[in-house]
């Protein structure tokens, strides 16, 4: 059982790096109207740097921690589901699986609520 859980966890962790590459988009397509190429480039660079300092380091750390906690909660929901499936009707196993899922859902709700609270406070106080 432990080997299967470790294998599932390893697959999930390894698949986290398999994302599609991002593509650049033109933020200001109407730039070439009456501007030179240099002015247009400067305008686009200003648009790109506009939001660069909007998040401070504390907010970034909090969002990273909440993301990690949310990921752990989702993994624990999966683990609880696996425990429920392999319990074979054993009342102790079913009870353990239900409590694992319940506490994981509570943790997920707390992580989402924490993110909402941080976002609200940052937007309110700037």
Tokens of 63: 């969002």
* Residue 24 reports pLDDT greater than 60: no
Q: Band the pLDDT of 81: cuts 50, 70, 90.
A: very high
* Residue 63 reports pLDDT greater than 90: no
- Greater confidence (78 vs 2) lies with 78
Separation between Cα atoms, residue 14 and residue 4, nearest integer Å:
15
The answer to whether 31 touches 94, Cβ cutoff 8 Å, is no
pLDDT digits (tens, 9 = 90+) for 88-126: 888 898 999 999 999 999 988 888 888 888 888 877 876
12: DSSP letter? H
Sign, Cα dihedral of 17, 69, 116, 118: negative
The pLDDT of residue 51 is 52
Predicted structure pTM score: 0.53
- Greater confidence (16 vs 98) lies with 98
* Residue 74 reports pLDDT greater than 70: yes
Q: Which residues contact 93 (CB under 8 A, 6 or more apart)?
A: 83, 84, 86, 87
Q: Where are the domains of the chain?
A: 55-126
């Amino acid at each position: 059982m432990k080997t299967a859980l470790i294998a599932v966890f390893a697959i999930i962790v390894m698949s986290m790096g398999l994302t599609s590459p991002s593509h650049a988009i033109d933020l200001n397509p109407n730039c070439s109207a009456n501007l030179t190429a240099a002015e247009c480039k400067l305008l686009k660079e200003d648009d790109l740097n506009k939001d660069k300092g909007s998040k401070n380091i504390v907010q970034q750390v909090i969002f990273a921690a909440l993301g990690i906690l949310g990921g752990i909660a989702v993994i624990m929901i999966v683990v609880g589901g696996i425990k429920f499936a392999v319990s074979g009707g054993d009342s102790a196993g079913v009870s353990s699986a239900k409590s694992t899922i319940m506490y994981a859902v509570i943790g997920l709700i707390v992580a989402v609520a924490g993110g909402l609270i941080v976002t609200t406070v940052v937007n309110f106080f700037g």
